[in-house]
Amino acid sequence: MEKESRYAVLIDADNVASKYTKYILDEVSNYGIVTYKRVYGDWTRPNLASWKNMALDNAITPVQQYSYTTGKNATDSAMIIDAMDILYSDNVDGFCIVSSDSDFTRLAIRLRESGKHVIGMGEKKTPKPFSTACNAFKYLEVLAEEEIQLPAEADKVELKNLESDIIRIVSENANLQEEINIGELGSRLQGRYPDFDVRNYGYSKFSQFLKDFDCLNFRQVGSSILVSLKSKETDLERVEDILAAIVRTNGSKGYNLGELKKQLCAKMPDFSPKTYGYSKFSRFVENLPGFRIRNNTVLISEK
C-alpha cells in the first residue's frame, strides 16, 4: 500500500477568517494526512475571538504571537520560523500555507526548493506572486462555494488564454495517436497556472470543464480519458485561401517565407503550425497542395 503524504497546515489568523477552517482541512485531506495543524495570531485581540472555538473544535494548535510593533506583522515571522523548523525535522512531505499575504512568497519558494509540495490558500485578493510561488493555490471563496463575481469580459479573456494553452499542451505532448491522457493534461495546466481550479468556473470535475471547449475530442479507454484536438479542416481551407491571396500579390515572383508567416499571423493571430502537427512553418507550407518553396520563397504550383 502506497504511503500517504504528510502535510503541515499553517494558518495566518490575521488574514484568514475562521469560517474557512472546515474547507481548508477538507481540501488538504485530498492530498494526504494532516500531521501539523497550527493557527497563528495575537489571541489577546478581540477580533480573533471566533478563531478560539474553531481551533478547539478542529484540534488546531493556537500559537500566540504578540504584536510588538504597530504596523509590523509578527505573525508572519512566527509562521516562517515554525515552517523552517518543521522543514528541517523532515517529518512532512508538504506544507499548506493559508494566508492572503504576499509576505509568504519567499517561504513558498524556499520550501519548494527543498523538494516539498506547497499548497497555498487565500482569498481572491491574494497577490499573484504568492499564488504562483506554490505548486497549487486554492481560493477560499471557491472552496466555500461562495459566488465569485468576475467581470464577464475578464472571465472571457481568461478562458480564451486557457484554451490556447490547452491546445498547445495537447499539440506538444500528444502520443502517436495525437492524444494525451486527461490526467497529464491537468497536471501540465496546473504547472502553468498554480491557481487554476475548475471550481473557479463553476465545475466540479476537470473533465466537465474541458468538454465545454469546442476544440477538443474525448475517447474513453478503460478507466482513462484521452483528449485530442478536433479536425481543423475548415480552418485549414481558410489558411490556404489566405496564403494563396498573399502570394499572388507578388505575381509570379513568389513571397518570402518569413514575411508570409507574418502576414498570415496578422490575419489569423491564433495560427500555429503545431495545431496541424508541424513544428515549423516551412514544413507546414511544403505539405500544402498547390504550394512549393524554392530558395526560401513560396510559390504557387502550376496546375
Residue 208: Cβ within 10 Å count: 12
Beta bridge partners of 293: 298
DSSP 3: P
d(CA 63, CA 86): 15
Q: Which residues of 41-69 are buried (b: 16+ CB within 10 A; e: fewer)?
A: bbbeeeebeebeebbeebebebbebeeee
pLDDT at 204: 84
Decide: 9 and 96 in contact? Cβ < 8 Å.
yes
Q: What is the mean pLDDT of each run of 10 residues along the chain (303 residues)?
A: 86 92 92 94 87 92 74 72 95 96 94 96 93 94 67 59 87 82 91 86 87 86 87 71 90 92 86 85 90 92 64
Q: Read off the amino acid at residue 228.
A: S
Q: For residue 257, which of 281, 229, 288, 230 has the smallest C-alpha distance?
A: 281
Name the 3-class secondary structure at 97.
strand
pLDDT at 231: 62
Q: For residue 225, which of 243, 201, 209 has the smallest C-alpha distance?
A: 209
DSSP 131: H
241 burial via Cβ count (<10 Å: 0-12, 13-18, 19+): exposed
Q: Which three cell numbers stand for residue 190?
A: 496546473
Q: What angle do CA 139, 144, 145 make, to 5 degrees?
A: 95
DSSP 57: H
Please name each of the domains of the chain with its CATH number.
6-143 (3.40.50.1010), 152-229 (3.30.420.610), 233-300 (3.30.420)
Question: 152-173 vs 182-192: helix axis angle to the nearest 10?
Answer: 120
Residue 153: Cβ within 10 Å count: 8
Pairing relationship of beta strands 180-181 and 216-221 according to DSSP bridges: unpaired
Q: Which three cell numbers stand for residue 2?
A: 502506497
